[in-house]
Structure 1
Amino acid sequence: MSWTCEYAFGAEQAARTAPPAFLAEVEQKVAEPARAAEARYLHGRAYGGDDPKGGDITVRGGMFPYQTIVRNERVHVVQITYLGW
């Protein structure tokens, strides 16, 4: 179980200013595509194909796009949008 989730690019800086409850929602939801990728790509580091298309996930208070990088066994949160609702 080596798959992890990380903030990428400007999302890491945005995460510093977002409310903790919102970030907890983001981290809980981004774990779902990581678990799915771990089940689908059992030998991720040996994978030779293209990376799958990422997606957008809506959470309470905003949304975030993510990208799965199979050979690195990572799911990256590319951007965080906190709307405050």
Structure 2
Amino acid sequence: MSWGWEYLPSKAHVTGGAPAAFLAAVEHKAEELVRAAETLHLDGAGYQGSGEPMRYIDVAGGLFAYYVVPRLELVVICQVTAPPT
């Protein structure tokens, strides 16, 4: 397996028309989170125990909610709150 990230349930559902520049910042931060999770969980597929809690991170005036699923080697973005337009 290889670590990655995705919007769940879908990009359209999670992003809801957020500005492209904001989404670019979210996706850049998601890549950073993937690298961090990969370093923290060297054997993600063999991870034992409960999953990690949902976390929130500020990006470009907005924020997004994510959680890490080590066994799937996946960072999941489940909510995006875009800055006001």
Give me the TM-score of the superposition, normalised by structure 2: 0.85
Which residue of 2 is the match for residue 61 of structure 1? 61
Q: Is the 8 A contact 1:11 1:77 kept in 2?
A: no
Measured after TM superposition, the shift of residue 9 of structure 1 is 2.8
Extract structure 1 runs of 4+ deviating beyond 6 A: none
Measured after TM superposition, the shift of residue 30 of structure 1 is 1.7
**Could you tell me how far apart the structure 2 residues matched to 1:74 and 1:12 are?**
19
Unaligned 5+ runs, structure 2? none
Measured after TM superposition, the shift of residue 78 of structure 1 is 1.1
Does the residue aligned with 2:67 lie in a helix, a strand or coil? strand
Which residue of 2 is the match for residue 4 of structure 1? 4
Q: How does 1:4-83 map to 2 (within 5 A)?
A: 4-9=4-9, 12-15=12-15, 17-83=17-83
Measured after TM superposition, the shift of residue 49 of structure 1 is 1.7
Does the residue aligned with 1:5 lie in a helix, a strand or coil? strand
Please provide the CA RMSD for this pair: 2.0
**Could you tell me how far apart the structure 1 residues matched to 2:57 and 2:5 are?**
14
Q: How many residues align?
A: 85
Does the residue aligned with 2:76 lie in a helix, a strand or coil? strand
**Could you tell me how far apart the structure 2 residues matched to 1:35 and 1:5 are?**
10
Give me the TM-score of the superposition, normalised by structure 1: 0.85
Measured after TM superposition, the shift of residue 15 of structure 1 is 2.2
Measured after TM superposition, the shift of residue 10 of structure 1 is 6.3
Measured after TM superposition, the shift of residue 54 of structure 1 is 3.0
